[in-house]
Chains A and B, each alone.
Chain A
């Protein structure tokens, strides 16, 4: 062995202090491509917890879980996706389907930890180094797995609609309904928001499957006014539909109608089953509107004898006398009501409590009483000159039209108000040939009327003058006309977060003359029929009942609901109040509920 051979191993030491050619942690030096499908990122504030990511994940790598500090709220389940990286295959379907685009991927792909449970994490909530990462995969703006466009429903053209009181919306064909139902992601956010908590994804599924009988059974579990609500519901469910974040929300209301339209009334008994086993107890209901008849339906199904006292000659309440037939045809309202009555619910028409029957009689003669008398006293403007004969009430105009009377609005009409009564008074006036101007104190965005009603009123040619406050009514030169003085308003923010308040600008006044002025600024209730002896046992606030649990009042036998006991004043809330009260009355009469 030569000397060189002996010392050559030591030559390597001369390299020991040189910069190495290899990298110790090469991946730290190599960021992922800008659109790499790396670890997930979720913007918690944008996510609504719809769970569509969980549903689409083929590897069951996502679970929707609660996150500390996040509470459920309308349109947000409060849940957020938790990822299991032992299962994830980085396909990014979850990102592509995300309804709000809150779910994204970062371009990070290296994660070293000794604890395998770390690989289960809540994106956006757990503190990860890639949270807020600028790069990574996002769904492109023009790439949609979900269809954002709603299936359009055939409707009468505005000029055609004005010629009669024929229903404007024509309903979906079977094929259209299935097409629209296909857009549902079955998240259930709508269920939480619907006042009646209808099983919306379940009945939409029956539309998809063409099983309308099953659909009807599901509808009637929570709503015996499904034909009505399929047409005129305020559909708050649609406001929270997550599909609406990237397009138009599901037409949930129209899909409800699609079911009912396909089941003839004659088949209801066979499909819903109407065996009633009498339990011998009697319940009185005051008011045959949606609240009263909803309670009547659910009580009757449980075997109670039900008598409904109705002041008017026909049932339906505000649905009958306040909603014109171009929105809700009489035969569709009758379809709902006739089925309820067919179960043996007795309705005593033209019977007013305090006049034909006394409040005390109800309390004494029945095991329980449910009161849903609605709001049927129009608020008046209380401005100077309001008692002019050409000032009409919106409710009276609608009542006249529903009763086939001519309200005599003339050819040039001003409607004051921004609710559904105002919109309907405007639209019926248009149908009677009048030019209509709607004067509203606030802005269109603040109107309490349904957006569709506002839109259709405008399409039918009603002119909207907003931020206009009436200050005086005067005689016009022509005794058959009337003059209104109104001032412009500026909007100011409400300090307590309420709706913005209009403030009159006294230097900007206007005068206009019309054939009539229709006042539709709101309604109140009449509670005068309740004798003083009972008053102290019942709580009221701002002219309404204040119900307790299950709609019960402190006068134990008395349950209340509908517009006279809630602040939402819509049919679906009244229907739920009636259903809730029916549960409460059953509990009360079986000893489960003690006030």
Chain B
């Protein structure tokens, strides 16, 4: 995986996998209203996938130099096992942690390549994932930590 197209295909597949993950979780959700919430997460991932497809066609990614705020909310939260009876709070923790893992993956890959263009692409993808994480962290801050 060293051409720009290959890397983008990999990233697109990951977004599709994330969308499938939430779709699957939604189908197993025992709570009726959580199903909607998880489907909305799935749609969010499909939106990310759409963004990457546009990048493949020439649209620009976030600049690797453009730093996205890290609220660090998910860093000290316990890991959650995604299950059918998942709560809103846990679903959001899963989402935050998945985005964080994706950010770390792309950051690690960037550190392992020498080609400056490829490195820049990985870093751009990492920033994109950081942006997704910030979205979920902000929602967690507003919806779950309402009184905090």
Interface residues of A (CB under 8 A from B): 379-380, 382-384, 386, 416-422, 440-442, 448-449, 469, 471-472, 492, 494-496, 498, 501-504, 506, 520-524, 527-528, 530-532, 534-535, 538, 540, 542-543, 569
Contacts and interface: CB of A to CB of B under 8 A. Distances in A.
Interface string B111-148: 00000000000000000000000000011011111111
Given A495-B69, A504-B76, A542 B139 contact: yes
B37 interface: yes
Nearest to A494: B138
Contact of A535 (B35, B93, B141): B35
Given A421-B147, A524-B144, A528-B32, A382 B37 contact: no
Contacts of B33: 527, 530, 535, 538, 540, 543
Contacts of B72: 503-504, 506
Given A448-B147, A502-B71, A540-B36, 13 more contacts: A379-B145, A382-B89, A382-B90, A382-B93, A419-B148, A498-B138, A503-B71, A503-B72, A522-B148, A528-B31, A530-B33, A542-B143, A569-B146
Nearest to B137: A501
B145 A441 contact: yes
Contacts of B90: 382
A47 B31 CA distance: 51
A419 B145 contact: no
Nearest to A534: B32
Contact of A503 (B69, B87, B139, B145): B69
A382 B88 contact: no
A449 B69 CA distance: 27
Interface residues of B, number: 31
Given A419-B147, A530-B33, A524 B88 contact: yes
B13 interface: no
A538 B145 CA distance: 25
B77 interface: yes
B146 A523 contact: yes
Nearest to A375: B146
B108 interface: no
Contacts of B93: 382
9 contacts: A382-B78, A442-B148, A448-B146, A501-B71, A503-B71, A506-B72, A542-B37, A543-B33, A569-B146
A489 B145 CA distance: 15
Nearest to A502: B71
Contacts of B36: 535, 540
B142 to A, nearest CB: 7
A504 B77 CA distance: 13
B6 interface: no
A447 to B, nearest CB: 9
Contact of A527 (B32, B69, B89, B145): B32
A425 to B, nearest CB: 11
B5 interface: no
A574 B71 CA distance: 33
Which of B37, B144, B145, B147 lies at the interface centre, i.e. has the most chain A CB atoms within 10 A of its CB? B147
Given A492-B69, A543-B143, A521 B78 contact: no
Nearest to A383: B76
Given A527-B31, A527-B32, A417 B69 contact: no
A524 B140 CA distance: 12
Which 7 residue pairs across A and B have the least CB separation, nearest first? A419-B147, A522-B146, A535-B32, A521-B148, A471-B76, A540-B33, A522-B147
Interface in B12-37: 30-33, 35-37
A442 to B, nearest CB: 8
Nearest to B146: A522
Contacts of B148: 416-419, 440-442, 521-522
Contacts of B141: 501
A521 B37 contact: no
A481 to B, nearest CB: 21
Contacts of A504: 72, 75-76
A42 B101 CA distance: 57
A416 to B, nearest CB: 7
Interface string B51-95: 000000000000000000111100111101000000111100100
A542 B145 contact: no
Nearest to B69: A492
A520 B144 CA distance: 11
A334 to B, nearest CB: 27
B70 A501 contact: no
Given A380-B89, A530-B33, A503 B146 contact: no
